[in-house]
Amino acid sequence: MEGMTVMFRMALSSSKRAMLRGWNRLSRKTYSKESLPKAYGHFVFLLPVAPLPCLFYEAYGKNLLFRVVHAKEKDEDILEQADYLYGTGETDKLYKLLIQYKDSDNAEFLWRLARTTRDLSQMSKTVAEDKKKLTYEAFEYTKKALEANEACFAAHKWYAICISDVGDYEGVRKKIGNAFIVKDHLLRAIELNPKDATSIHILGLWCFAFAELPWYQRKIAAVLFAAPPTSTFEEALAYFLKAEEVDSNFYSKNLLMLGKSYMMLNNKNEALFWISKAKDYPAHTEEDKQVKSVYYYYYLGFYFLSCSQTSHTIPLSKPV
């Protein structure tokens, strides 16, 4: 019995030695000098690696890639849902969806969150204290969006809008100083996406605001700044027309501003044509309703009075 035990141990030892010799031969064959890669004129010596860890890392890499693709698809689904809610005017639901991503490093989430937060601040039901808080929150989200992706045109556009809103709470000097920043970011947004009608429209608003600045405010601006921002109604009109060319009938306020610009340039027929279009625009948002109920009737009343005094017929369609 003892002899059999000794023989078994010898056989086992021999088997181990054979396995080791086999592995060494495999190692020498696999990592011989001829098969080793060269780097900078010297051989790069590799340690033999067992096949199972390689398979593990390959599986891990595939799993990681799958998770990245899956996360990207999930983000796209959420953004699609967000755009649907925005299109249907469900601002409260949209805010609840996007606020979950306030700490995201994805600019697409952040600028949409800024837009929605600002929309909430603009609603008539929002009290003054909350309006201010939401205005500053929206601005912070646009800053984060730009930090995440400077090449995102929408981040520049909403940064310009929100910094202008913030200026309303920080005095005339700050408001005028921010105007230069607003224009720079709008121009950058248009550079990144020349087909975005809203960026072009907002630049038209910027021009209109400084074109109609009262003389005493111009004096204040001249005292505060050596070269205060200036513009003309012709320049504003050019941007509003360009926005309409890029995306016809995209926004009720662009139609209204075309009418106001023509009014300031004393072109009554064109003014009334565009104001009539603003009146007929479907009211999807609260702003659309304001355009219909306030601006349209105010300016239409002005034109009825003006035309009756000059005995002109009011055109109901665009003149040829």
For 108-139, the pLDDT digits (tens) are 999 999 999 999 999 989 999 999 999 999 99
Band (pLDDT 50/70/90 cuts) for residue 72 is: low
Provide the residue type at 76 as one letter: E
Q: Which two tokens stand for residue 9?
A: 């141990």
- How many helices (H) and strands (E) are present in the chain, helices listed first? 14, 2
pLDDT at 295: 59
Burial class (CB in 10 A: 0-12, 13-18, 19+), 237: buried
For 170-192, the pLDDT digits (tens) are 988 888 889 999 999 999 999 99
pLDDT at 44: 37
For 273-286, the pLDDT digits (tens) are 998 888 888 877 76
More confident residue, 189 or 315: 189
**DSSP string over 63-124:** HHHHHHHHHHHHHHHHHHHHHHHHHTT-HHHHHHHHGGGTT---HHHHHHHHHHHHHHHHST
Least confident of 23-37, 108-122, 171-185, 218-232: 23-37
